[in-house]
Structure 1
């Protein structure tokens, strides 16, 4: 089986406060892997089918369709497609002075570089538009960057995450659930979740009871 891969790599990456480095789509073969290695830019993968494993210094994440994972610059990582149900994903690589601020507001952290949210086809379609706009003219660069901002805006809106200072109860629950989903195999407890979200145990308890109908401890169990 041949790998189905379509991609574009820009040769202009220093003109704007946010610049697209590369973008594309790939339907991987079983056990297709990248790494271990590092990137010199941020790289988002949005999985549209199949499964795989993403490994970082902070943990190992078993991911599937609907999950979106972020690779941080200069971080040693590995990601591998499942042997029997290999993943298919869209990706976009980028960097710039705006990148860290936006990704933080979207809910990504080094401790939990994964978002699990219902984007429908909106995120996939937006990433595909970046690829369709690809080119090395200055006008192409601006168009690609504009669509990248839209893509990151979708992540911010749909992930249910806000800035740490402005999170709602629902945002606390969403952030805690993402953390628990990708770290429960490490034997985490409620205190780990509250430390990650940045709220008290009582606050997280009230939020979970309101939106999940059970306590954080029950949810972890």
Structure 2
């Protein structure tokens, strides 16, 4: 079974390009060749050989190997105990990050993963028919995420060449928390609990690393987001206040003026209109 899919127009962060399963004949091989996307093979039964960058890997049941884009590889089924495997081909801006969480890179392309039945079932689900093309694309993307989550469960995150210090990592986690939750009401205890650190320690660490407090970073992030939203005249000031985490529009207006020097209304009034942009364009062409 093999199926190739056109590149997704809906999903750019992660999308499936092909998938399949095969009971290989003795000595069946492929390559040397390169791929334009990531391709992960998982061995259900049997044995085989995988070669990349001058290294040879003997693989058996419960192991898998990753082929990275534009890297020359070769693989061959064992002549006496040929492997049966399944594979998923994929790409997208998130692909490398998710693979690194599983410890899979071009330098470390092999993974031991005891999820035989679960991976096989996911591949079988991918092959199930679906009448609606867009619905099928969404379902396949979801199944791809599930498959990669199994690999992440098995692996250990690969070290990054320019790894952040522990303090920098905690500061980045605070920023990530704020970006995901800025529209909700939360306290510093919630931020600290999400990261697993003492509140006072985390607050001091963040200030030392960034030069600003968590609270000030949160306020500025909310106001910067609100500033961008004020260009949408379909939204009232109250709508925008609630969208960035302020239940009281008056409190929002005070915070906004403190950061920008203007009230939200004045800031909106000073934004260039479409007619201003058209006038500027006309004067540029004269």
Pairwise TM-score range, normalised by the shorter structure:
0.5 to 0.7
Structure 1 residue runs of 5 or longer lacking an equivalent are 1-5, 167-221
Structure with bigger strand share is: 1
Number of equivalences: 160
For 2:41, what is the secondary structure of its paired residue? strand
Shift of the alpha carbon at 1:45? Answer: 0.6
Does structure 1 residue 66 correspond to structure 2 residue 62?
yes
Structure with bigger helix share is: 2
- TM-score (structure 2 length as normaliser): 0.52
Q: Aligned partners of 2:96 and 2:54: how far apart in 1?
A: 18
- TM-score (structure 1 length as normaliser): 0.67
* CA deviation vs aligned residue, 1:2-50 (integer Å, no higher than 9, x gap): xxxx111112334311111001100000111110100000001110001
* CA deviation vs aligned residue, 1:94-150 (integer Å, no higher than 9, x gap): 100110000000110212201013224222222332233678812211110111001
Where do residues 25-40 of structure 1 align in structure 2 (5 Å cutoff)? 25-40=21-36
Which of these residues, 128, 132, 140, is aligned with residue 144 of structure 1?
Answer: 140
Change (3 A) 1:114 1:9: same
Q: Aligned partners of 1:136 and 1:35: how far apart in 2?
A: 36
For 1:31, what is the secondary structure of its paired residue? coil
Structure 2 residue runs of 5 or longer lacking an equivalent are 165-286
Asked whether the equivalents of residues 112 and 154 of structure 2 are also in contact (C-alpha less than 8 Å), the reply is no
Does structure 1 residue 9 correspond to structure 2 residue 4?
yes
Where do residues 29-178 of structure 1 align in structure 2 (5 Å cutoff)? 29-132=25-128, 137-159=133-155, 161-162=156-157, 164=159
Shift of the alpha carbon at 1:58? Answer: 4.8
Q: Aligned partners of 1:22 and 1:136: how far apart in 2?
A: 18
Asked whether the equivalents of residues 44 and 116 of structure 2 are also in contact (C-alpha less than 8 Å), the reply is no
Q: Aligned partners of 1:69 and 1:136: how far apart in 2?
A: 33
Q: Which has the higher contact order (CA 8 A, sep 6+)?
A: 1
